[in-house]
Amino acid sequence: MAHRRRDNRRSRIRHAATAPHWLRIKNPYPPIAQFTEDEIEAIHVTSLELLRDKGIRVLSAEARALYAAAGAEVNQDTLMVRFDPGMLLDAVAQAPASFLMHGRSPDRWFEVGGNHLVFATVGGPPHYSDLEGGRRAGTLDTFKDLLRLAQTYDVLHLTTPMVEPQDIPIHVRHLHMTQAVVALTDKPTFIYSRGREAVSDALNILRISLGLSPSDFEERVYCYTVVNANSPLQLDELMCAGIIDFAKARQAMILTPFTLAGAMAPITIPGALAQQNAEALAGIALSQIVRPGAPVVYGGFTSNVDMKSGAPAFGTPEYVKAAFASGQLARRYQLPYRTSNVNASNAPDAQSAYESQMACWGAIMGGCNILLHGAGWLEGGLTASLEKFIIDVEMLQMFASLMEPVECNTDTLAKAAFDEIEPGGHFFGTQHTLQRYENAFYTPLLSDWSNFETWKEKGSLDATQRANLIARDALRNFIPPALDAARDEEINAFIRERTAAGGAQLTA
């Protein structure tokens, strides 16, 4: 009996990794508020006054012209763009409160907005690390391994540029990255705003992988980019081009000011949030000026620096408060809200776990819709860690399970079960238990609940060591999603052609 049970459980663990109910997670808890409505209004008003009186410096002539045509006041000497609050809010109000995103497989769709919650992998680190090789420059091979893991776990909805493949020349890097994405995953993905040619190339590869014409591609949202303001109060050429290109292609963009309190933002949380809000609204307005209704997400990334060293800190109490408050601000404009699973640890250790947990609780209980950097982020975002990826998947699966409501009815109140037991007895053998034990509780991927003696016999492996083994096992057993051979060949031809033409110029 014990053996039969163990075998059942093992097959269920495999299944759990691709549990279909995690494709569309709804958060049943009302979001936690950090500030009163009046205080949120004060932050809102301060950000509008900032944009009206000081404005934001816009380095792109095309964006300045778009802003000016929409009624903003542009100073061509200082490059400052100033906004009438009414005009700004009218533009922001064009953005949809929610939208659908789609992957290549028909079941890979989900909603962004409302109380829907989606998880994305880590984006952007230059370094990769694992227990075998330590920390080193990211490569295309390590990028591919992380893509395979991203595809393996259904709790991850969106992929990202998980590590920078530094072994690929920069002018063709976007070609090989996007090819790897569509070869190894079928989930909606991220595309860097690294210049118009690179964006166009990547969108083309993605479009070919989906077998769509350019006009059909615009009908649905298949990918997204992240636009970071050059805080404080500046938008550069590349970022403006990203907003314009993604709005035109009707793909999603996340406007995320990088507001570290005490460095690129005021040292006080309300001040940092006022700046975040001003920068986010200015960018969102541009997207709606280009294409009213373009899918856009309010990004919050306010944290604090260590005032001793200037180093950014993540998953701090201040980070959590800012995450709660940013959700309030996003909902103030009826926009989907993005925040992150972040930490400042240099190792996939206890610090990385508790800082990540703080960040995740701030995010999820703050009502976030897209949790970016959900799996693999280490070292303040400078490293993608193989082991942290698995630790994070476990944590995200736990959150996904937490989001599942508990039914409270005659069956679950279990009065019948009490008739089966004696005081001081146990419920293991009751009908009530036997009917439910297979799926009663969350089954962990990484957590080891064996007793000390069993754990010791198995080698006394800590969670980080076990995470490494789980990742290696997943990589060995990886099966890539189907990709039509003709589309694959078309992508290869496209890349040959673009490479022969010299790749992409990395300018706006």
Task: State which of residues 19, 131, 267, 506 lies at the interface with its own copies (CB under 8 A).
Answer: 267
Asked if 432 is part of the footprint of its own copies (rule: CB under 8 A), the reply reads yes
Asked if 498 is part of the footprint of its own copies (rule: CB under 8 A), the reply reads no
Asked if 413 is part of the footprint of its own copies (rule: CB under 8 A), the reply reads yes
CB of 335 to its own copies, least distance (A): 21
Task: State which of residues 86, 211, 293, 425 lies at the interface with its own copies (CB under 8 A).
Answer: 425
Q: Using only the alpha carbons of the chain, give its radius of gyration.
A: 24
265 Cβ neighbours under 8 A, 6+ residues apart: 231, 232, 257, 259, 271, 272, 275, 276, 302
CB of 125 to its own copies, least distance (A): 11
Query: Which residue stretch of 82-90, 187-195, 292-300, 424-432 sits at the interface with its own copies (rule: CB under 8 A)?
Result: 424-432
For residue 103, the SS3 value is: coil
Q: 75 or 492, CB closer to its own copies?
A: 75
**Residue whose token pair is 């006022």:** 274
Asked if 126 is part of the footprint of its own copies (rule: CB under 8 A), the reply reads no
Instruction: Give the interface size with its own copies as a residue count (CB under 8 A).
Output: 121
Site for its own copies in 63-92 (CB under 8 A): 80
Angle at CA 350, nearest 5°, toward 345 and 356?
Answer: 60
Angle at CA 411, nearest 5°, toward 408 and 417?
Answer: 120
Q: 88 or 400, CB closer to its own copies?
A: 400
403 Cβ neighbours under 8 A, 6+ residues apart: 25, 26, 27, 28, 117
Task: State which of residues 98, 115, 230, 499 lies at the interface with its own copies (CB under 8 A).
Answer: 230
Asked if 135 is part of the footprint of its own copies (rule: CB under 8 A), the reply reads yes
Task: State which of residues 88, 239, 247, 274 lies at the interface with its own copies (CB under 8 A).
Answer: 274
Query: Which residue stretch of 54-62, 66-74, 146-154, 288-296 sits at the interface with its own copies (rule: CB under 8 A)?
Result: 54-62
202 Cβ neighbours under 8 A, 6+ residues apart: 174, 175, 177, 178, 191, 192
Q: Tell me, residue by residue from 275 to 314, as one string, x for binding to its own copies by CB under 8 A and - for no binding.
A: x----------------------------x-xxxxxxxx-
Q: Tell me, residue by residue from 327 to 356, as one string, x for binding to its own copies by CB under 8 A and - for no binding.
A: -----------------xxxxxxxxxxxxx
Q: Roughly what angle, to the nearest 10 degrees, separates helices 386-402 and 350-365?
A: 40
Q: Measure the CA–CA gap between 362 and 453, rounded to whole angstroms.
A: 36
Tell me the β-bridge partners of 337: 298
